Chains A and B, each alone.
Chain A
């Protein structure tokens, strides 16, 4: 195989695989950061480094790389690229060369993010980059700004591409009512990206202007306001949670439907109520990240109500998932285990978000480990489990080969157990007062045992993820040949050969009147 064919490829499947490789590399690096932090926190006081800045850099890199370098690219880069044209019966995306540009930009972005570790003054501003600290630190804030801008731009041009593709390139007969849930979800996610990424770009650019060019957007002694940044930042970064949530729940819908051999429960409720509701509410809840910043009371109360209302579309999507199991015929291959794992993790994560929506309860909970545990459950590990579920699920389509089922399941159970040890403990000590972003918890020596338990859990879940990645590499190289449709799915991507050739189908597909991607039990 010629490496030039991969680097200069415009084939959406190869672009997708490039996204996957890059984002898994980013995941590995950010995961190692997490393990280093857990090692540091395994005892009170300095453990593996005596320098708090070193810890803060790990923390910054863990957050920024996991979100911007792993989750968003894997979900809206890899899955969207690989699956959407196949799911809608298209030969490729609408603008293949723009697509190639987006993956190149993505690589520039993650290389920039990884250069963090070779700088004399790496950024230590957390992934949120709040001023005034980010404008007075000796850390390299510009690195943060450029990483965000480049990854954001990659994401925007990807969004334009996929909205066009979904609108114009569906196979004959494939109406909007027959789109896969995943396609609808990704559509929603890209609408959010297109609306909100420019706001994030503005915010981080203003930070660098303040720091390097002497403007004063955020300097109150010269007429600025520090809160402006937080508003702009969360005006994007809360919708970003749904940019992650929507595609990952879409992946879970595909998997649950396939392995339950069952039609999606109440499709229209899921699409209009669930996905539509989330897209509509996404931009009206950002103030819940500013509950303790002295924002106007009416805003804090108003957005408490909108934040609680998010439970409606999210609840409908969970009902849709559980309903899809009803009267199904469920088998438990590795992708399904991960998908069911997501269902439980998301249930815990979603419900523990209810107290955080309540302004008055957040006065105690904000910026504690409770928040960290909550968002890891609901977004971080639920999203990561979904990515792993999806990669296992489409693995035979991508490579034409099968992974090892035993190691797949072993990896799942290790990660599932490790995750719950880490993040349940985290929420528990958070309620008792443990603040987040602490290099040293010498004021809270009573939590040392809990921290050691979490370190142990982190090692277990790390081993689980490692097993999964090794399983893919071995499976791709010398797994048994899988066949075109090993799962017996009805969805369109399984009708072509594995791996699909350039152009996807030997002759353009069209779909029958009575077909839809979930038409089980009728044929």
Chain B
């Protein structure tokens, strides 16, 4: 009986060994920050990579535990009435070992996951210098974007392919969350604070933007899209809209938004 316990402990050591091997293989495989090369890391690709990695990790642990439990349930089913279990009484040393070793196995796995998560986090939070910076104000129930040259659009964010896009976000009423599932990113926007997110649109195409923070009655209808176009096409559109805006401004007419706003702006905002 004591031997069985020792075998169990040996198995635990084995598990720790496997984990160390997993660490050794997996950590160099993910070149998150790209060291000194100025290449842009795409957080969405990093997300897919880390998701797969964590999924493999939890699947292995889950299957091990599930199989062990299922085996015990089958193996130690009662063979007759009146029988009682005869699990061994643990010696103090074994009892401590059974607490300490699993603790370190779990902690090792935690730190492995945390280290990779942190690395990816840096990719999400460190925005490349060469970027298009757009201001977003969310409101019930629309996304209102303002480009650096003053061009405004609603519920449609037109961006050039291949250039990182940074959104600086705030809200004029309730909480909203600008969620672009295809780019694996969201961040809340709220009154009184400025938050940001960035993403890297690679290919021309359209991507759904949807609200992920309960914001009111029409929450589920609060959607828009990111339209990625080739850089030349974007520049033509951007310059064209900018010129229109300037001439309209010079003529003294009220500045038209590319799409009309639905709700009035609240006056006071604080930038963080």
Contacting residues, chain A, for B69 (C-beta < 8 A): 322, 325, 340, 343-344, 347
Whether B191 sits at the interface, judged by CB under 8 Å, is yes
Whether B190 sits at the interface, judged by CB under 8 Å, is yes
8 A Cβ contacts from B196-248 to A = 196-197, 208, 210-221, 223
Contacting residues, chain A, for B68 (C-beta < 8 A): 322
Least CB distance from A218 to B in Å reads 9
**Segment at the A interface, from B76-84, B129-137, B158-166, B250-258:** B76-84
Tell me the bound Cα distance from A438 to B84 in angstroms: 52
Contact string against A for B residues 157-190, beta-carbon threshold 8 Å, 1 for contact and 0 otherwise: 0000000000000000111010101101111101
Tell me the bound Cα distance from A308 to B57 in angstroms: 13
Tell me the bound Cα distance from A325 to B99 in angstroms: 17
Q: Is the CB of A327 within 8 A of B117?
A: no
Least CB distance from B260 to A in Å reads 22
Q: Is the CB of B85 within 8 A of A261?
A: yes
Q: Is the CB of A273 within 8 A of B103?
A: yes
**Segment at the B interface, from A4-12, A149-157, A171-179, A289-297:** A289-297
Q: Is the CB of B77 within 8 A of A352?
A: no
Known: A293-B190, A360-B50. A351 touches B78 (CB 8 A): no
Give me 18 other A-B pairs in contact (C-beta within 8 A), A268-B95, A360-B118, A439-B219 excluded: A220-B191, A221-B266, A269-B98, A305-B111, A311-B109, A316-B99, A322-B69, A327-B85, A358-B113, A360-B120, A360-B124, A361-B47, A363-B43, A367-B213, A435-B179, A435-B211, A435-B220, A437-B214
Q: Is the CB of A438 within 8 A of B72?
A: no
CB-defined A-B contacts under 8 Å, sample of 18: A56-B217, A273-B103, A294-B190, A305-B114, A324-B87, A326-B87, A330-B78, A348-B62, A359-B118, A360-B50, A360-B121, A364-B186, A431-B51, A433-B181, A439-B220, A443-B210, A521-B85, A521-B87
Q: Is the CB of A327 within 8 A of B219?
A: no
Whether A137 sits at the interface, judged by CB under 8 Å, is yes
- Identify the B interface with A (CB < 8 A): 1, 43, 46-47, 50-51, 54-55, 57-58, 61-62, 65-66, 68-69, 72-73, 76-79, 83-90, 95, 98-99, 102-103, 106-107, 109-111, 113-114, 116-118, 120-121, 123-125, 173-175, 177, 179, 181-182, 184-188, 190-197, 208, 210-221, 223, 266-268, 270, 272
Least CB distance from A431 to B in Å reads 8
Q: Is the CB of B106 within 8 A of A358?
A: no
Whether A354 sits at the interface, judged by CB under 8 Å, is yes
Whether A104 sits at the interface, judged by CB under 8 Å, is no
Known: A260-B76, A440-B221. A315 touches B106 (CB 8 A): yes
Known: A315-B106, A435-B212. A364 touches B173 (CB 8 A): no
Total A-B Cβ pairs within 8 A: 265
Least CB distance from B71 to A in Å reads 9
Contacting residues, chain A, for B110 (C-beta < 8 A): 305, 308-309, 311-312
The 3 tightest CB contacts between A and B, nearest first, are A220-B192, A262-B85, A433-B181
Tell me the nearest residue of chain B to A311, going by C-beta.
B106
Known: A226-B193, A322-B65, A358-B50. A330 touches B73 (CB 8 A): yes
Tell me the bound Cα distance from A51 to B102 in angstroms: 52
Least CB distance from A222 to B in Å reads 9
Interface size on A, residues (CB 8 A): 86
Contact string against B for A residues 360-379, beta-carbon threshold 8 Å, 1 for contact and 0 otherwise: 11011011100000000000
Q: Is the CB of B181 within 8 A of A329?
A: no
Whether A96 sits at the interface, judged by CB under 8 Å, is no
Q: Is the CB of B177 within 8 A of A292?
A: yes
Tell me the bound Cα distance from A521 to B109 in angstroms: 37
Contact of A438 among B121, B173, B220 (CB under 8 A): B220
Tell me the nearest residue of chain B to A368, going by C-beta.
B212
Tell me the bound Cα distance from A289 to B86 in angstroms: 44
Contact string against B for A residues 284-307, beta-carbon threshold 8 Å, 1 for contact and 0 otherwise: 000000001110010011001100
Known: A358-B54, A521-B84. A363 touches B184 (CB 8 A): yes
Least CB distance from A378 to B in Å reads 13
Whether A225 sits at the interface, judged by CB under 8 Å, is yes
Contact string against B for A residues 334-363, beta-carbon threshold 8 Å, 1 for contact and 0 otherwise: 000000100110011001101101111101
Q: Is the CB of A266 within 8 A of B98?
A: yes
Q: Is the CB of A304 within 8 A of B184?
A: no
Q: Is the CB of A304 within 8 A of B114?
A: yes
Q: Is the CB of A220 within 8 A of B214?
A: no
Whether A319 sits at the interface, judged by CB under 8 Å, is yes
Least CB distance from A50 to B in Å reads 12
Contacting residues, chain A, for B220 (C-beta < 8 A): 52, 435, 437-442
Least CB distance from B43 to A in Å reads 8
Whether A515 sits at the interface, judged by CB under 8 Å, is no
Known: A266-B99, A435-B210. A367 touches B113 (CB 8 A): no
Whether A198 sits at the interface, judged by CB under 8 Å, is no
Tell me the bound Cα distance from A432 to B184 in angstroms: 10
Contacting residues, chain B, for A293 (C-beta < 8 A): 187-188, 190, 195
Q: Is the CB of A363 within 8 A of B83?
A: no
Contacting residues, chain B, for A388 (C-beta < 8 A): none
Q: Is the CB of B181 within 8 A of A364?
A: yes
Q: Is the CB of A132 within 8 A of B95?
A: no
Tell me the bound Cα distance from A292 to B116 in angstroms: 18
Contacting residues, chain B, for A95 (C-beta < 8 A): none
Contact of A126 among B62, B84, B90, B214 (CB under 8 A): B214
Q: Is the CB of B118 within 8 A of A301?
A: yes
Q: Is the CB of B84 within 8 A of A312?
A: no
Contact of A309 among B57, B65, B107, B182 (CB under 8 A): B107
Whether A328 sits at the interface, judged by CB under 8 Å, is yes
Known: A53-B217, A347-B65, A360-B120. A340 touches B73 (CB 8 A): yes
Contact of A329 among B85, B109, B194, B221 (CB under 8 A): B85
Q: Is the CB of A318 within 8 A of B174?
A: no
Tell me the bound Cα distance from A53 to B77 in angstroms: 52
Tell me the bound Cα distance from A359 to B78 in angstroms: 46
Q: Is the CB of B186 within 8 A of A351?
A: no
Interface centre among B55, B85, B88 (most CB of A within 10 A): B85
Q: Is the CB of A443 within 8 A of B208?
A: yes
